[in-house]
Structure 1
Amino acid sequence: MKISTSVFLRFLSVLLLLTISFSLKASHYSSGEIFYRWSPTPTDSLRYEICVYFYRYTGSPATIPNQPINICISSSCYPDVSVALNKNLPPPGQASPNDNNGGWIVNGLDECADVNDPDYKDLAAHIWCGYATLPGICGDFEFTAGPPCCRDEADNLVNSNVRSMVITAKLNNTLGHNSSAEIQAPAGKAFCLSQPGSKPFEFLQAAFDADGDSLVYRLGHPEEATGFPDAFNNAYCGGKANIPFATGYTVNNPFPSSTGFVIDQKTGIFRFSPSQQGSYVIKIVVEDWRFDPIHLLWVKIGEMVREIQIPVTANCNPTSQAGPRLSLTSSSNNAIIQNFSQAQIDSMKQAYDMQVFFGDDSISNGTATIHHIPIFQGYQCFDSIVSIEFNNNVRCSSVDPTDFRLIGPDGVARPVVEVETNCQFLVTRNLDLKLNQPLDVDGMYVLQIRRGNDGNTLTNECGIELSEFYTFLIPVSGCPAPTYELDGLTVEGDVNVRLDWSGNADLTDPAVQASFDAWNIYRADAGVRPFSLLKVIKDPSARFMVDSFAPNGYYVDNFIYDYQVQLVYNGKGRIPSRFCSNINLRIDSAQRSDNNLPLYWNHFKCIDPSVRNYDVFNGKRDTSVPAPGIVWELHSQTTDTIANIAIPAADSNSQGTYAARVVARNVNGGSRTDSSESNWVYYYIVHYPKDPEPRVGEVLIPNIITPNGDGLNDRFYIQSPANGVQYEHISLRIFNRHGERVYQNPNFDAVNDAAQGWDGVNQSGQRLSSGVYFYIIEMSNPSSGEAQSLEGTLTINAYGF
C-alpha cells in the first residue's frame, strides 16, 4: 500500500509529539493565550514585549522546565525570526500548590462546577514573556507560539490529545505602533449544567486596549502545528492547520448550549447555557481596529488570541445550590446565628410589617420550628454603610439597590441608594450598601433581600437566585435620643403668635448637632389637617419662633390656629410635637347690651385642665402711658371659657376706649411658658353731652342730616363763624349708640363743605340707618392756632322728613 506524503508527515508529527511527550513525562495543556505590548526604548522604536500563557490541569507528575521557550515572528515582508521568551515564576503566595513547579494560581475555577465530578480539574498558569525588535513596517506580522507538548483531550475536537496547540497574535504597524488587547479576566472557569429556567451564564472575557482602539470579539478555529515544533529549541514556524471539530460542533457553536453562544461586543461578555457535561475548547479572538484618516476606512491593526478549555460538570457546586449565601466566618460580616422560635418570628413580622421572614435555615419554605437568623454585630450609631460578604460569587449584573430593604426599630425604612459591588470580572463576594440615612436609632434593624426592579434578588455565578426575603438583623446601640416638646404658645401684643419649645440634653449631642437639618414649624386652621409647613429654622439652638400677623392683628382677632414643631436631623423628620392653639377671645354680640360686655373663648389645651385657670383683664386706654397705652386690671378669674364685664354708665369720666384680654395660666407654674395670652377685644363708652347752643362768632355744626339726595342737608360739615375764617386741621369721628366707631377722617378739612362733607355712610361705603349718632371733632383755631375739641350728637334721617 502506498502512503501519501501528507499522511506520512502527519504520522511523523504524531510520533514526534508522542516522543516529546514521553521525554517531558507527558505534560498536556488545556489552554493558552498570546498578546503583545509596544515597549520602545530611546534607541529602539520597534521593540515589543510578547507574553505567552499556557494552562495545564494540576496533579500531573510531569515537570515543566523553568527555561525559555521560542516563538516565531513571521511576515510577508521579512524572513522568519525565532525569539526566546523567559519564564516568569510566581512570587510567594501566587504559586499553585498543586503544580509541581512554576505554575501560577488560577482563581475562580470552582464557583459553579462540582469539584467532585470527574470532569472538574484545577488549573495552573505557566507564563513566558520576552522582548523582540521587529525588522521594520509590515501589515501582517504574526507571533506564533505553542506549548512544549500536546493538548488535553476535548469532547468537541477530533483526537485532541495527540494534537499540538498553536496560538498566534497578529500586528499591522503600517498605521503606527500598536499594543494588542489584553483580556483582563482569568482564563480558567468550570461550569455546570444550566438549571432549567435560569439565566444564561455570563463569562466575562472583556479586553483592555492601551491605545484606545476599537475592539471586536469573535470565536476562532483551534489550530495545530503541521511542522516539527519544539518550543524549547525551535520556533513554531513550520506551518499550522485547523483542528477538525467533532460532529455537531462548529467555530460559533463550540459546545452544547440550550441558549446558543452569544457575544456582547460592548462588554466582552460571553453568554451560554451548558446543556451537556464534558470538556470543550473555545478560541477567543480579540481584534484591534483603527480608523485610517487618509483612506477614510477602518483598518484591522492587531489581534490577540485566548484559547480556553471549559469543563462542564453534571452537578453544580453544592455551596451554590441555594444561590448566594452569607459567609458566617468572614470578619467583615462579624455575624452570629441566633435561634428564634416561630412565635418570635411572627412577632417580628408584625412589628416590622413584613409578610415573610426567612432565616438561614428557612431559605425554602420557612416552616422550621426554630429559625436561624444571621445577626450582624459591631455596627455603631450613624454608620451609613452596611457590608455583606457571601461565601460564593454574586453576579454583579444581578445587584440593584432595590434588592434591599432596611427597616429601623422605629418602623421607618432606610432606603439603600447605592451598592458598591467591588466587582472583579463581573462577580463579587462583597457588597457595600450605602444608606440614604445612617443608622441613628437604638434597637434592631431588619435587612431583607427582595426581588428588585431588575427582576431578581441576587444571583450567583451559576445563575441560581437567592430565595426572596432572606433576612438579617443588625443591632445598634448608643444612639442619642433627642426629645422635645412644644411648651407654650401665646399672642403677643394682639398681633403676633409666639411658640416656645424645649428638649433634653441629647439635642446638643455632637452627632445630632452635626447632622441637624432643621426645626420645621407647622400651622393649620383649627381642626383642619394636614398641617402646612410654615417655616424652616436652620439654627439648631433655636427654641422659639414668632408668627407675625403685623400690622393690625386681624387674623389673631378672627381665627384659631394649631401649631406644632418637628425636629429634622440625619435627613429624617422626627415625630412632631403635640399641637397647641392660640386663644381667640370674642364678644358675644347677641348678648351684648349698653351695660354688659359678654366674652367667650376657646380652651387652651396645652395646660392640663386640672391646673388651668383663666385670668380676665380689662383696661382703659391712656395716652399718657407707654404703648399700647392700656392700664390692665384683673377683672375676674375662672376655669370656664365665658366672662361678663360690666360697662359703667357713660359720663365725662368713664367715656373712652377700653380693651379686654384673657390669660390661661398654670396655677402651679411660674415660667413664662406656663401662661398663654389671648388677642384683645375693644369696646367704647361714649358720653352724649347736651348739645350746646351755638354762639355768635363760633362754628356752626348741624345736629341733623337728611342724606336723601334732594340737595338739602344731605351732608355733614362745619361752617365757619360769621365773618370768620374756616378752622384748620379738622378731624372727625362718628360713633353709634354702642360706642362703635362707624366713620373716621383725620383730614376732614379737605372735604369740609356742602358738596363733599360726610353723607352718612360708614368706612366700608355702607349707608347707615336712621338714628342718633355721636361725633367728636378736633380742630385748630386759624387765628390763635389753639386746638379745640367739640363733641355732640347728630341725627340721621334717611327719609328727609
Structure 2
Amino acid sequence: MKNFFKTIFTVVAILAYTGTAKASHNAGGDIQYEYISSTGGTHKYKLIMRLYRDVSGITLPTSATVYACSANYSTVSTTLSEISPGTSGQGVVAPTLFDCVSSTNAGVTINVVTYEGEITLPGNAPDWTFAFSTCCRNPAVDNIINPSSQGFYIEAKLNNQIGQNTSPEFVSEPVRAFCVGRTFNWKQSTVEPDGDSLFYRISHVKAGYASGCTPTNINYAAGWTYDQPITTSPPQSLTMNPNTGLITFKPSSVEIDVMAVTVDEYRYDSTLYVWRKIGEVNRDMQIAIASLCTPQAQAGVQLDYQAPGIYQDPDNGLPTVDYNCLDSTVTLKFKVKLDCSSISPDGTDFRLTKPDGQPLAIQSFTANCDANNEATQMTIKLFKPLSKNGKYFLYSKVGNDGNTLLNKCGFPMNEFDTIQLNVTGCFNAIYEMENVTIEKDQNPVIEWSADTSSYPDYLFQEWQIFRKDPGAATYAKVGTVFNQYKYDFKDGQIGFIKVDQDSYDYRIDMKLNDDLQGASNDIHSILLERDNGIVPIVDPDTVAINLQWNQYNGWAVDSYTVFLQEKIAGTWMGEWIHDHVASPQNPVLAPDTSYQMFVELAPGEYRVCIRTTNPTDTQYTAYSNCLPIIITTPPVPDTVVVPNFITPNGDGVNDGFIIQNVDDYEDLSQLSVYNRWGDRVWQSNYLYDNSNPWRGTNMNGVKLADGVYFYTLELLNASDNYQYVVNGTVTIMDAQ
C-alpha cells in the first residue's frame, strides 16, 4: 500500500511539473542564509532567495517554499514571501542586463524577484541543505538538452557542527547579456561576514525536488560542458578565478546559455588545526549572447563630458575640469561602466603632462568598483601635487598590462583620449640673487635670499646655480644645493687663476615639485685689473699704478674701497685702506671704477683688492680678485751677483741659477722661488749649492712654465753679524 501511494504521488508530481513547463521561464536564482539566534538546541536562520524570470513566461508566485534537509533530522520547511514593496511576482528588471546589449538584440528580458523568510533547524548537523525547486527553464536555451522539459533547482549548504554560520551573500548581479567578439570579465562577488575563507568554482546546473533535497545534474548539449558552458574563442577558454570569482571569456556565437557557480566556505578549526568546510551557496544563471553590443558600448571607455564641472575650453575645444593648486588627485567619470580588471595596477593607463610639456608621475588608480567589479568613476593619485598655474593634459595610453582601459562590455578606450586640467591659484616663489664675491682671491661665492612664506616648503627639492662664462650666449648649470635654508654656493670650477682673468655672471633657480620656478636676477663678479695688464706689481715706489674694474651690478653701489694686505710667514694679514693716492679719494665714489695709486711699502709681499658693501643690507660685501705687489731689496753691491734669467735647455749655457759669491755666506744662503700668485714653487737647502743649482723646476723636479718668477735670497754671516735679504725676479726662457 505504501508503494502504491508513493507511485501515485510521483505521477501527480510529474504531471504538475510537466503541466507548468510550457508557461514558466525560470532564468536563474540563488539562496543565502543568515544566522539569527539559538534557543536550546534549535537554531533560527533567515533565508534570502532571488529568482530570475524571463518575462515572456508567466509571473512567479508571491511566496515560495524552501526545504531544509539533513540525514540526521526530519526535513523542515518554511514559506518565503516576496519582499516589500512587492511586485506580485512580476519582479524588477535586472539592473545590469542591458548595459552592453539592447533588449532587442538580447532577445530576452530578465526580471528579479526577491523573497525572505525564517526557518528553525532542530539541531546541529554537518549536512544541512536549504533547497528550492520549480519548473521550468526557457525553451530558447541552447546549451542543455530539452531545456523546456528541464526542472530548476537551487540550494545552499550548512555545516553547523563547529558553530553557527552566515553564508556568503551574492552582491553582484547574476543576469547579463553579452556580445560576440569581445572579452568579458564578469565577477561573482560575495560578502562574507564571518571572516571565513571562500573558494569559487563553476558547477552543474541542476534539476530535482526540493522536498527531498535531491538534485540531479542536467546534461549539456553537444559542444558544451558544465565548466565550458559558453561557446568561446578560442574554444574551451572560459576561466574562473577561484580566489576572486572573476569569470573571463570571449563569446563567439549568438546563443542563450545557462551555467552555475558555487562558492565554498571554509573555517579554520583551531582545535584540530585544519580547514573545514562550513557552508556553500549556489547561483544558477541564464546568459544571453547577442550579435552586437550597443553603439554606446562599442564606443569603448568614454569620459563623461556631461558630468558636473566639465566644460569645453573655448580655445582648443578640449573637455576641461578646474583644479586648485596643490590638488594631488584627479577624478574621472565614464559614460559606460569601466571593467576594473582592465586597470593596470601600476597606474600606466594614463599620462599627465604639465603646462611646460614635462610629465607628472601618476602613483596609482583607485576605481570605485562596485560589487560587479565595475566603476563609473576613477580617482588618479599623483606622486606630487599640481603646483603650476596653467593647462595640464591627461590622456589615455596603453598600460604595462598591454591594453588601454576597457569598459564592462570589453571595448577599449581610444588611445590619446584627452581631458584638460586647468590649474589656478598657485604660489609665486620669491627669491633673488644678493651677491657674488671673490672669497680670499680664490673662488667666486654666490649668495641669495628667499621668502619661505611664498611657497610650500615641503615641496622644495633643490637650488640650482647657473653661470655664464665670458663669450658664452647661455647659462650652464654649475652646482646644486639641497638644503633649502642654505643660501650660498662656492664655485670650485673657477680658481685663483681664472678670477684674475675674467668676470663671471651667475643666477639661481629653485626646483619645487619637479618644476623649476624661473631664473632669478643675474649678478657678475668684480674683475680688478691694471691698465697695462702687467702683474705682479714690482718696485712701484715712483711709478703711478692705474687700477680699473667693472661696474658691480649686485645693488646700487655708492662707493668702492681700495685696500691692501701683507703676507707674513705665509699668512695674509688684515686689510688696511690705501691712502697714498693720485685719484681724488678712497673710497672711490660710484660710478667711477678706476683708481691711481702710489705704493711706498717696505720690502715684502702684498696684494691690492677692492670691495663694496650693500648700503641697504650691510651683510653683503662683494670682493674683487686681488693683484700681487712685490717690493724687492736690491743686493749689496759687490757682495752677490744674481742672474735675472736662466735657459734650462741642456746646452750648458745658463742652464742653472748660478749666484756669484754665495759661498762667502757660511751660515745661511737659502733661495726661495715663487710664482706670480705668491706660491712657493722651489726652495734650496739652508746653504745654496752652485754645483747643484736651481734649474727652473719645482720641488718634484718638474719643469716650470716659461715666465717671470720671484725669488728671495736670505744671507747670513754670523762671524761679522752681516745679514740681509735679496728679493728680485728671474725669467725662465727655454731657448731650445
TM-score where L is the length of structure 2: 0.75
**How far does residue 458 in structure 1 lie from its aligned partner after superposition?**
1.7
Cα distance, 1:635–1:446 mapped onto 2, change above 3 Å? farther
C-alpha distance 465-740 of structure 1, shift in aligned 2 (>3 A): closer
Question: Given the alignment of the two structures, is residue 201 of structure 1 paired with residue 184 of structure 2, yes or no?
Answer: yes
Which one-letter code corresponds to 1:660 in the other structure?
V
Deviation at 1:393, TM superposition (A): 0.8
How far apart in 2 are the matches of 1:795 and 1:556?
24
1:121 corresponds to 2:67: no
For residue 256 of structure 1, what is the aligned residue in structure 2?
A: 231
Q: What is the CA–CA distance in structure 1 between the aligned matches of 2:204 and 2:410, rounded to whole Å?
A: 27
What is the aligned-residue RMSD (CA, Å)? Answer: 5.6
Contact 2:300 2:407 in 1 (8 A): yes
CA offsets per residue over residues 394-440 of structure 1, 9 Å max, x none? 11122232221222323332222211112223221101111233222
2:89 matched to 1:82? no
Contact kept, 8 Å, 2:200 with 2:244, in 1: the verdict is: no
Task: State the alpha-carbon separation in 2 of the partners of residues 37 and 494 from structure 1.
Answer: 87
Q: What is the 5 A alignment of 1:61-76?
A: 62=59, 64-65=61-62, 67=63, 69-75=65-71
What aligned pairs does 1:263-662 form with structure 2 within 5 A after superposition? 263-288=240-265, 302-331=279-308, 334-337=309-312, 373-377=318-322, 379-400=323-344, 401-424=347-370, 425-482=372-429, 484-495=431-442, 497-501=444-448, 508-509=453-454, 512-513=456-457, 515-521=459-465, 531-539=477-485, 544-547=487-490, 563-577=506-520, 582-583=525-526, 617=562, 619=564, 621=566, 627-632=573-578, 655-661=603-609
Per-residue displacement from partner, 1:221-266 (whole Å, max 9, x unpaired)? Answer: 32233xxxxxxxxx62174433343444332232322333222234
Q: CA 1:27–1:446 in 2, change beyond 3 Å: closer, same or farther?
A: same
1:13 aligns with 2:13: yes
Alignment partners' CA distance in 1, 2:293 and 2:425: 45
- 1:242 aligns to what? 217
Shift of 1:449: 1.5
Identity over aligned residues, as a percent?
Answer: 20
Give the Cα–Cα distance (whole angstroms) in 1 for the partners of residues 120 and 663 of structure 2: 119
CA contact (8 A) 1:585 1:681 kept: yes
User: Shift in Å at residue 72 of structure 1?
Assistant: 3.0
Superposition deviation, residue 56 in structure 1: 2.8
Q: Secondary structure at the match of 2:151?
A: coil
Q: What is the distance in 1 between the residues matched to 2:39 and 2:578?
A: 100
**Conserved 8 A contact 2:70-2:125:** no
Q: Secondary structure at the match of 2:482?
A: strand
Judged with a 3 Å threshold, the aligned counterparts in structure 2 of structure 1 residues 45 and 644 are, in CA distance, closer, same or farther, namely farther
Rounded to whole Å, the distance in 2 between the matches of 1:240 and 1:653 is 120
In 1, Cα distance between equivalents of 2:351 and 2:679: 67
Contact 2:205 2:218 in 1 (8 A): yes
How far did residue 317 of structure 1 move? 2.6
Distance 2:674 2:146 in 1: 122
> Once the 2 structures are TM-superposed, how far is the Cα of residue 389 of structure 1 from its aligned partner?
0.8
2:633 is the alignment partner of 1:687: yes
1-structure distance, mates of 2:509, 2:307: 42
Correspondence list, 1:660-671, <5 A = 660-661=608-609
Is contact 2:437-2:445 (8 Å) kept? Answer: yes
**Structure 2 gaps, min length 5:** 644-653, 731-736
Does structure 2 retain, via aligned residues, the 8 Å contact 1:708–1:714?
no
Describe the shift of the 1:653–1:519 C-alpha distance in structure 2 as closer, same or farther (beyond 3 A). Answer: closer
- Rounded Cα–Cα distance in structure 2 between residues aligned with 1:453 and 1:238: 49
Counterparts of 1:736 and 1:271, CA distance in 2: 86
One-letter amino acid of the structure 1 residue matched with residue 225 of structure 2: T
Q: Is the 8 A contact 2:564 2:609 kept in 1?
A: no
Distance in 1 between residues matched to 2:152 and 2:196, nearest whole Å: 30
Give 1:471 deviation, angstroms.
1.5
Contact 1:496-1:546 at 8 Å conserved across structures: no
Q: Secondary structure at the match of 1:481?
A: coil
Aligned equivalents of 2:675, 2:216: Cα separation in 1: 123
- SS of structure 2 residue aligned to 1:402: coil
Letter in 1 for 2:305: L
Specify which structure has the higher proportion of strand: 2
- The Cα shift of 1:585 comes to 5.3
Pair 267,133 (structure 1): closer, same or farther in 2 beyond 3 Å: same
Q: Once the 2 structures are TM-superposed, how far is the Cα of residue 773 of structure 1 from its aligned partner?
A: 6.3
The one-letter amino acid paired with 2:176 is A
Instruction: Report the equivalent of 1:677.
Output: 623
> For residues 335 and 674 of structure 2, what CA distance do their matches in structure 1 show?
91
Quote the residue 2:157 is aligned against: 170
Q: Separation in 2 of the partners of 1:740 and 1:641?
A: 30
User: How far, CA to CA, are the matches of 2:577 and 2:715 in structure 1?
Assistant: 25
Is the contact made by 2:390 and 2:424 (CA closer than 8 Å) also made in structure 1?
yes
Q: Deviations over 1:455-512 (max 9, x none)?
A: 2222111111121111222222222233544354122443563323357x7x633x53
Distance 2:678 2:274 in 1: 97
Render the CA deviation track for 1:64-105: whole Å, top value 9, x for unaligned.
32x563313132xx2431132544725xxxx69xx4469577
C-alpha change, 1:311 and 1:704, in structure 2 (3 Å) is: closer
Aligned residues: 689
Structure 1 residues 245 and 743, CA, compared in 2 at 3 Å: closer, same or farther? closer
Alignment match of 2:172 (pick from 186, 195, 198): 186
CA contact (8 A) 1:618 1:635 kept: no
Alpha carbons of structure 1 residues 167 and 530: separation in structure 2 relative to 1, 3 Å: same
Distance 1:35 1:429, change over 3 A: same
In 2, the alpha carbon distance for the partners of 1:173 and 1:738 equals 100
Shift of 1:445: 2.2
* Aligned 8 A contact 2:330 2:379 in 1: yes
Of 208-217 and 597-606, deviating more is 597-606
Partner letter of residue 112 of structure 2? A
Shift of 1:201: 0.9
AA partner of residue 568 (structure 1): K
- SS of the equivalent of 1:166 reads strand
CA distance in 2, matches of 1:44, 1:126: 30
Tell me, in whole angstroms, the C-alpha distance in 2 between the residues paired with 1:590 and 1:491.
18
